[in-house]
Amino acid sequence: MTLHQIQTASEAILAELALSIDDQDAVLLLGRAACMAPLVATTFDGTKLLVRQSDADACGVAPSESAEFDTISDQQWVELTLSHTKTITWK
């Protein structure tokens, strides 16, 4: 069970992530990558997608029927990293 922390949601990173992700993994969008949440949500439909709340607020993105993701606090982010066996940061 891996937590994939995405800091830049470029096409190249998303393509590589698509080859690396497993059903039990989670994807967390941070910083500028949070602005891409609607696109990433449709690309990785069925994957647990999370966005840091403060980053979502800064980008003005929110979950919708067509772009499903959950927002998390910094405390939840810490708990998430502790609950996964591996953490990979994509830049």
pLDDT at 54: 96
Cα–Cα distance between 64 and 11 in angstroms, integer?
A: 22
- Strand order across the beta sheet in which 2-6 lies: 70-72, 48-52, 26-29, 2-6, 86-90
Cα 33 from chain centroid (whole Å): 8
- Collapse the DSSP code of 3 into the 3-class scheme (helix H, G, I; strand E, B; otherwise coil) and give the result: strand
Residues paired with residue 39 on neighbouring β-strands, in sequence order: none
Q: Please, what are the averages of pLDDT over each run of 10 residues along the chain (91 residues)?
A: 93 92 94 93 90 96 88 96 96 89
